Structure 1
Amino acid sequence: LTGLSETAYLAMAAIVETVLMALMASTIGTLLAIPISFMAAQNLMRDVRLPLAAIMGSLILALLGAAAGGWLGAQVLALSRLVSNPWLALGVLLLAGGAAAWLLRSLVLEDDEAAGGSPLARTVGVALVGALGLLALALLAQLGEAAGSWLTPRLGVLGFTANFILVLGNLVTLLFPALVGFVGLLLGGTWGGRLGQEAVLQLPDGTARGLTALLGVIGTALFVLVLGYGLIWLNVLGVRDLVPETAAGQLALLAWPAAVLGVLVGVLALRRAAKRPYPIGLTTYTVVRGTLNGLRSIEPLMMGFVFVVWVGLGPFAGILALTLHSIADLGKLFSEEVENIDEGPREAITATGASGVQTVVYAVVPQITPHYIAYIFYRWDINVRMSTVIGFVGGGGIGFVLQRFLNLTQYSRASVMVIAIALVVTILDTISSRIRTRII
């Protein structure tokens, strides 16, 4: 590399940062878009019909699970912060990761007797694996922040790699409670729906109606409270100026509509058959698909503006903007791929008495996997090109450097950045196209 100018080194560093930003956004977006895509597939959701008790039980435990997951994530982060020494944190990370791997191996690979025998022991084992895994992830994020901060000023021209490690650690730390809360929401919703349905099917009609009414009151009230707090937090249409500033005042204001609507749903539940199924699948499909379409209608550039204001200038804001748009775009593409599957294998597996999850695993996943992988590479290619534009609003990457040179009227240096962008986009497009061709 002897003889390269400072601008060339800067272009290479910015390009690598841009590619890593796109890779991280594509990875996180894919992990979140996959479960969302199944809920946005009409052919999977249209046949999902549940009694009102199951729907309300799922709603109640989903909200409680999300709150418990968010609280647990915050506590795990606080616990990881107690290990301030990086070397001690590394040792605890290795111990926690090793213990989680050993427990997982004993639960999955060994027979029931070696894994603990009773279902209670297996449940405790799974909980321990989850707790140790969360602690290991929190410690890994903390180590990433420490290592990135220490290495950035010491690596010189390669300092961008250490800065990316720092940004990655910050991203995991920021999203950690939300991710744990999302897992809690999914688990709570699944368990709540199962418990509610089993209870209604086993109880006499009168008792089942009473239980349905009670769950309807609680579930509706909780939903109204959460929705109200969400609108206040987002300050939709300036609503924050119209409500009390204290949490107690806001609760008192929201309690009345929550109670009235809850009682109304409870009364209606008493007048309906407890075992009557409702098309909750189509409702979920409509809400999820509408949300994805709404997010896709917002340009990534506007998302970049919002996240730059929220977290400041730099690649962190760019990764958040690209991740959010990737979730919406991949969720839509993935769901349409699920809707285009051959229904024959799915109908055959369903006829054997398989559950919904088993049907998805054995009839849907094998058909969509090649296309999912191709879409992931395609999205990475798109994110590389988008990250150059997001850089113009302060989202990091080579776009941010290009804007700086343009503002300083250093057009010769800006032209180097433009050439670097063109080369990288061309190379990645060629590689992505060949990989997609081989997979599909």
Structure 2
Amino acid sequence: MEPSVSIIVPVYNAGKTISRCVDSILKQTCRDFELLLIDDGSTDHSGAICDDYQARDSRVRVFHQQNSGVSAARNLALREAKGEYLQFVDSDDWITPDATASLLRAARDNDCDMVIADFYRVVGERVSPKGDIEETGVMTRQEFASHMMENPGDYYYGVLWNKLYRRQPVMEHRLEMNPAISWCEDFMFNLEYIRYTQRIIALQVPIYYYVKTKGSLVSQSVSLSRVVRMKLAVFEYYNQFYRTVLDEEAYEKSKLKIYRFLVDAAGDGVVPPGILPGSAKLGTERFHVNNDILAGEGPLFDQFRRRKLMDRYLETAALKHGLTLAEMRLMLYLRQIPAEITRGDLADFVSLPLRTCWALLQKLVSRGLVDVSPEGSTREKGGKKLFRITFSSQASPILADLATTVLDYRMTMMAGLSQEEIGAYNATSEKIQNNIRQVL
């Protein structure tokens, strides 16, 4: 059976970073992928590291070639790939544990030809999220092109590594990288690919850690005349792309915006070294798991592992909807509680101090996601006021993602178990829960 995703990593003298990159891929929550490592004639020990991964994991396939450049390495991988979808990772970067699963689900749930996602920009020990499209629904090729027109020089659009591609159009139209171009070659591939897409979706979740600052054309010792020729060739390709995807009237109206590409191209397409707004210390941008506690034995450690596993899936949904992990966790709890509950019982259920719990709830109310019955409409039970908490219509997409989160959590818990084992586990768990209920 062919894998769902082919993950492609070109490797050249990446001995210091390749293990971090590959480890992040092999630890994906989605297991249905193949990893193609293309050793582009490395002169350090990168090739041996790749071979070692291949020997240890059947999902890894390694190819060695004479040094021919990153485009030739990717083209070799495109010819060898077997997956339904294609994902690209650079050897000195890494991806979040949910990257492949998030991209694949977005593609399949929305029947999309391409998924584009936010990413993290890493500068030293600081990290900041970067995105561009806030639109959450499926976009047509023309709608996506309109977004790109506003910021054509942005890496968000130009690179391969924050996207998922359906392999069928690549094979059908024999798309590949242009080895003759050493500037914006990724962008040219994207432009060509988009011409054959119908449905595109943006995922507002950072799934990629970008740490490599691309070298400028000047640093590549490229002559000025060749620099000019390459940039004009890329612009002409960009211009022709819009002539293809827009009708004549729309193209004429957009011509000034299209020509902005020439201005952006003067910046050489390099991600600026400065840190972006909203930066944080690397390692704090997502929830942390203490490995020593993770390895502990006993009921408290069991509860810790279950909570952290749920948090991993909740965090993806939280990032997608612009909520904190604590707010998304409270949404999950609210999804389970009775229609009416006291403040104290709610705080007890979510295991938070009363003030903290109520402050979080008020934040959800201010976001228009939750409605809480006003004081005058509350009832009393045992001398305590009961509040009715309901979700607004705005919360519907979040509730749908919470249902997916619970499903993912359970599937991870049951991974590798037979139906008989799952049935036995469920029966045993029910007996254990009944014992606990009787005592409490």
TM-based fold match above 0.5:
no
Higher share of residues assigned strand: 2
Q: How does the TM-score come out when normalised to structure 1?
A: 0.23
Higher share of residues assigned helix: 1
